Amino acid sequence: MENYVALDLETTGLSPKNDRILEIGAVKIEEGRETGRIATLIDPQMKIPERIRELTGITQEMVAGQPTPAEAVRAFLDFCGELDLMGHNLIFDYSFLKHQAADQKIPFEKNGIDTLKIARILLPDLESRSLTNLCGYFQIDRAHAHRAYHDALATHELYQHLVRIAEEGQERIFQ
């Protein structure tokens, strides 16, 4: 797949019904090259839990005056156009976007590719296939872990490594 939007969200918690999107990060890839990016902080219109502040470094002051979840999701969907989504444990991010779109009565149906599912198939012997561990395994920079844009970029880089492994496996099969 050479055309997609690598995506990551930071959220106030784990429940799309009760929690909110805090940050959207995305990298648009077309013909294998980056053609656009989004790094948007969002005012979740609720108090950011302390554990999320500690994990992400995102504070109430940082999100004050930023777009609402509804505004940010609408802008993100415009950014994506018809491109498929890619993410690590994509269903998590997809469920938050889907819930927000449904609240606004915006149709939201996207195909997606999940690097976690691919890693489970290609790297079954790894103890953990979390984004952090896989980035360590492939020596992908994680200096800004748990910030949406940087995690989206790391997911894109991870995908490139997974494609290489899959292609090498195919070569061995047909030799």
Provide the annotated active-site residues.
146
CA gap 22, 132 in Å, rounded = 20
CA distance 156 to 2: 11
Is residue 53 within 8 A of residue 36, CB to CB? The reply is: no
- The residues, ordered by sequence, that sit 6+ positions from 127 with a Cβ below 8 Å of its Cβ are 133
Residue 66: CB partners within 8 Å, gap ≥ 6?
40, 41, 42, 43, 72
Cite the beta strand spans of 96-136 per DSSP E.
Answer: 112-114
